[in-house]
Structure 1
Amino acid sequence: MYVVTNAIRVKKGYASQLVERFKERKGIEQSPGFIRLELHVTQGLEDYDEVRVCTTWENKQSFEAWTQSEAFRKAHEQKAKDRPDYVLGNEMFSYEVALSFQA
């Protein structure tokens, strides 16, 4: 499995507004190899809030195919046009899942 996170920094008090923007799906759930999307709100930060958008994929190739898709382009094109002023920045990370346990 392959996991990609996008750590989005927002002004203090705006994490819930960013989470709301992700409730409307833009096609990622139909992308081959997509497993899940989770949003994590980081706790305990003083200067800003952070929302981590975490996506899980069958493999790196599935994620890369999503980033090359028309659905990805459309979803991110609109976000770029109306990026909220409360977004301070972001940083992307990617991981190969080395070990996983379930209950």
Structure 2
Amino acid sequence: MIMVTNTIRVKKGHGESVAERFTGSKGVAESPGFVRMEVLFTEGLEDHDELKVCTTWATKAAFEAWVNSDSFRQAHAHRGKKTEGEGEAKESVLLGSEMTTYRVLVTK
């Protein structure tokens, strides 16, 4: 089993609204080998908000199949781009992200 964390840095004050986007993440939940997803909010940061999106997978191959799927591409199609809002373009709140993969050695 593996866990993949995607640490996402966003502009201060936008962390919770970005986290809400993951409540409708149906494609990943239907992906073969998907076990669970948790979205964590880092407390106490002063200059930006930080989320850790943690997904657990039965195998690394299952995760890689998700990353290479059409469902993944659709879910991430607008990531980091400007969004339209009431006739004017809004700047992205995304500051950066980093993905880390772990082998799960113990779980209870």
Name the TM-score, length of structure 2 as normaliser: 0.84
Rounded to whole Å, the distance in 2 between the matches of 1:72 and 1:65 is 9
In structure 2, give the amino acid aligned to 1:90: S
Tell me if structure 2 keeps the 8 A contact 1:26–1:71.
no
Shift of 1:49: 0.9
CA-based RMSD: 1.6
Tell me if structure 1 keeps the 8 A contact 2:2–2:104.
yes
Point out the structure with max Rg over C-alpha.
Answer: 2
Match of 2:102 among 83, 91, 95: 95
Number of residue pairs matched by the alignment:
101
Shift of 1:81: 4.4
Residues 45 and 4 (structure 1), Cα distance of their counterparts in 2 relative to 1, 3 Å cut: same
Shift of 1:76: 1.3
Residue 61 (structure 1) aligned with residue 61 (structure 2): yes
Tell me if structure 1 keeps the 8 A contact 2:80–2:94.
no
Secondary structure, aligned partner of 1:98: coil
Instruction: Percent identity, please.
Output: 50
Rounded to whole Å, the distance in 2 between the matches of 1:75 and 1:30 is 13
Residue segments in structure 2 that go unaligned for 5+ positions in a row: 84-90
Shift of 1:78: 3.4
Rounded to whole Å, the distance in 1 between the matches of 2:82 and 2:60 is 29
Name the TM-score, length of structure 1 as normaliser: 0.88
Rounded to whole Å, the distance in 1 between the matches of 2:81 and 2:95 is 15
